[in-house]
Amino acid sequence: MKINKTMDKRKTKAYSSYDANILEALFVKYGLSKYYIRQCVNGTVHGITPDSIKRDYETMEKAHKDVIMNLIQTTLK
């Protein structure tokens, strides 16, 4: 079976999805556009503020996952 090489070029880029609630919280905290915040989390933008935004996103995401796990553990008892 012969594989067509043009098929490989048609692959689409996989985009990351971000938690809308966390993006909203960062929007309120920093007063910057959600587009810019997504760029910061993605690592496209560099600097002190983008690093802070990325760190805050990761912290909030971890806390969100911990809350969900606690709720699951509580409901299983």
Residue 68, pLDDT score: 92
Task: Note the pLDDT tens digit of each residue in 45-73.
Answer: 999 999 999 999 999 999 999 999 999 99
Residue 7, pLDDT score: 55
Task: Note the pLDDT tens digit of each residue in 16-49.
Answer: 789 999 999 999 999 999 999 999 999 999 999 9
CA neighbor of 64 nearest in space, from 7, 72, 77, 41: 72
Q: What is the pTM of this model?
A: 0.75
CA neighbor of 34 nearest in space, from 61, 53, 51: 53
